[in-house]
């Protein structure tokens, strides 16, 4: 029979274009957020983080935006490259040292 699994949101972008990946988080008390990148066959890797007292943070080619009013987080990747193809997860922390992960977005970069 047909297997039922998570329906990962997918995003396809042309190499060189900018990518925007969105995430709706669940808890208004969350005070720390991280974006992770997971390439096929590997564990999730830290990309960038942001604390709740900020609304924007920039890294190398990546920017994270936080909108606490609507509990929304986004990851912007500038000049997307084939090596950026992966599944991207947002994670929120609101208690102890435990992070809660979203279901992920699959990014495919078309050469």
Partner 1 sequence: DAGVIQSPRHEVTEMGQEVTLRCKPISGHNSLFWYRQTMMRGLELLIYFNNNVPIDDSGMPEDRFSAKMPNASFSTLKIQPSEPRDSAVYFCASSLAQGSSGYTFGSGTRLTVV
Note the residues at the interface with partner 1 (CB under 8 A): 3-6, 31-32, 34, 36, 41-46, 49, 51, 89, 91, 93, 96-99, 101, 103-104
Cβ of residue 48: shortest distance to partner 1, in angstroms? 10
Q: How far is the CB of 53 from partner 1 (least distance, A)?
A: 11
For the record, the structure tokens of 53 come out as 């007292």
Contacts of 12 (CB under 8 A, 6+ apart): 107, 108, 109, 110
Other residues' Cβ atoms within 10 Å of the Cβ of residue 94: 16
Q: Which is nearer to partner 1, 44 or 73 (CB)?
A: 44
């Amino acid at each position: 029979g047909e297997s039922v699994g998570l329906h990962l949101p997918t995003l396809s972008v042309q190499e060189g274009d900018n990518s925007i990946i969105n995430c709706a988080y669940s808890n208004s008390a969350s005070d720390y957020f991280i974006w992770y990148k997971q390439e096929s066959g590997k564990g999730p890797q830290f990309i960038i983080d942001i604390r709740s007292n900020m609304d924007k943070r920039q890294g190398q080619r990546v920017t994270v935006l936080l909108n606490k009013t609507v509990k929304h987080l986004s990851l912007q990747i500038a000049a997307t490259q084939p090596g950026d193809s992966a599944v991207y997860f947002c994670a929120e922390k609101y208690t102890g040292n435990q992070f809660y992960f979203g279901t992920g977005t699959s990014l495919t970069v078309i050469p």
